[in-house]
Amino acid sequence: MFRCEKTGRVTKPGEKMKKIVVETRERVYLDEDGAEIGRGREIVKEISVSPATYTKWLEENPDQRPVFKKKEQPVTSAYSFPIRVSAPPAMYVPEVEPSTLGVLGDVVKHTKAL
């Protein structure tokens, strides 16, 4: 729960906070010897807004849309096919081939150990 800095409205509990960059400045990056190694922009001020205010602001300022956006990716395995997760069975009973059962007494002894 927080106060939207654009509208002044207090958000509902659990509502996600969005940030809008209000002011930036040019920045020169130097190494330890003082030589220039790069230039960029640095955030000076940003405000916290509600998701509804953020989407309205994006509609009004389409050029300010974030450059890096997370993409939703489906869960896949190393073999690149989707993993289907289902509920486990009520009780796991391994399948046993009839030739490996042996004597009936051995099977009963095995189930008692579980």
Segments in the chain forming alpha helices (H): 51-60, 104-113
39 falls within a domain: yes
Burial 60-89 (b: 16+ CB within 10 A, else e): eeeeeeeeeeeeeeeeeeeeeeeeeeeeee
82 falls within a domain: no
Q: Are 15 and 1 in contact (CB under 8 A)?
A: yes
Quote the number of domains for the chain.
1
Task: Residue 34: give the domain boundaries.
Answer: 1-66
Does residue 85 register a pLDDT over 70?
no
> Is-above-0.85 flag for pTM?
no
Q: Tens digits of per-residue pLDDT, 53-79?
A: 999 988 888 887 776 666 665 555 555
47 falls within a domain: yes
Q: Residue 42 phi/psi, 5° resolution?
A: -125, 140
Q: Tens digits of per-residue pLDDT, 5-61?
A: 988 999 889 888 999 888 889 999 999 998 988 888 888 999 999 999 999 988 888
- Distance CA(57)–CA(67), nearest Å, equals 16
50 falls within a domain: yes
Q: Are 58 and 49 in contact (CB under 8 A)?
A: no
Q: Are 79 and 33 in contact (CB under 8 A)?
A: no
81 falls within a domain: no
